[in-house]
Amino acid sequence: MPKMTLSHFEATVLFSLFTSVVLGVVTKRTDRDRLHYGIYTFGCFLVALFGLGWLMYLGHG
């Protein structure tokens, strides 16, 4: 089994991608809504990722 070494950022983006796909598929009732919700969830993950990243950076001083 090859070893995968990811940074925190890369791991979080991958995590967001897979989770968004599943949430999009299982949550909504039409394909159009599923696609929109998947993209929306992924966007929310990214906003939280960058937002919390900057917050920690600025809070750290």
Q: Which residues bind other proteins (CB under 8 A)?
A: 1-6, 8, 11, 14-15, 17-19, 21-23, 25-26, 29
Least separation in angstroms between CB 41 and other proteins: 12
First to last CA, the chain: 41
Rounded least distance, CB 34 to other proteins, Å:
8
Q: Would you say 34 and 24 are in contact if contact means Cβ atoms under 8 Å apart?
A: yes
Distance (Å, rounded) from C-alpha 26 to C-alpha 2? 31
Q: Measured from the CB of residue 44, what is the shortest distance to other proteins in angstroms?
A: 16
